[in-house]
Amino acid sequence: MEAIAHHIQAFVASAGYPGLFLMVLIESTVVPVPSELVLPFAGNLASEGAMNLWLVFLMNSAGALVGSGLSYWFGAAGGKPFLLKYGKYFMVRPADIERTEKFFTSHGRATVLIGRFLPVIRHIISIPAGVARMPLRAFFLQTFIGSTAWGGFLILLGYELGPRWEAIATQLKKVDLFIGIGIILLLLAIVARFVLRRRRERAVGGDAA
């Protein structure tokens, strides 16, 4: 991970604002780019005069909006039709999709906003939001607020700490990784419970038949 982070940092340093925009865009999709080791680096470059702090903020917010928008489009354009056609092979029924849509109608704003601060979740939250066709205005507003707050914190971390930013950001990444593993285990438990429930329902349906 450290070697990958250094390669990404070297790319941002050489490509400048377009490189930073691209990294944030990718990080806002399902690709786990380590933002904790990229955005503080950009903030540090700004503190050294190699970048403009406000443009770094702008690249973070713009990249997050575009990347999240692409994931939303993927969920909206391909996710729901795919699940309606092939969901039965994954034990996903139309009723499950309908429940997801209702959930995002009632809790989509808070879910997208909070998801921007959580490892793993921040990479995937835009896809179910797209599947549920969450209103675009609400989706982009919450995405902007969450990504700007989280990314802004990381940028200012690098800007204010100077040479010490990397040691602090590395520790932050370890905490992020620990939380991410916990979230993955929780998601796996939820999936396992979902699969077992579906199998029980099928067994009960078969007995009834």
Give the tokens for residue 45: 């470059």
Spatial contact of 147 and 68, defined as CB atoms under 8 Å apart:
yes
Compute the distance between CA of residue 207 and CA of residue 209 in angstroms, rounded to an integer.
5
CA-based nearest residue to 143, from 121, 112, 175: 112
DSSP H helical ranges for the chain: 2-15, 17-27, 39-47, 53-74, 80-86, 94-115, 121-124, 126-131, 136-161, 165-208
Compute the distance between CA of residue 103 and CA of residue 6 in angstroms, rounded to an integer.
40
Per-residue confidence in pLDDT tens, the chain, 209 aa: 566 767 778 888 888 999 999 999 988 887 777 777 788 889 989 989 899 999 999 999 999 999 999 989 988 887 777 776 666 655 566 666 777 777 777 777 888 888 888 877 788 888 888 888 888 999 999 999 999 999 999 999 889 887 776 777 666 766 666 666 766 676 667 666 666 665 666 666 555 55
Give the tokens for residue 177: 């990784």
User: pTM of the predicted model, to two decimals?
Assistant: 0.76
Our measurement of the distance from residue 139's CA atom to the centroid of its chain's CA atoms, rounded to an integer in Å, reads 13
Compute the distance between CA of residue 168 and CA of residue 134 in angstroms, rounded to an integer.
36
Range of the domain at 96: 2-208
CA-based nearest residue to 42, from 8, 86, 83: 8
Compute the distance between CA of residue 71 and CA of residue 26 in angstroms, rounded to an integer.
10
Number of domains observed in the structure of the chain = 1
CA-based nearest residue to 108, from 80, 142, 79, 67: 142
Give the tokens for residue 201: 């329902």
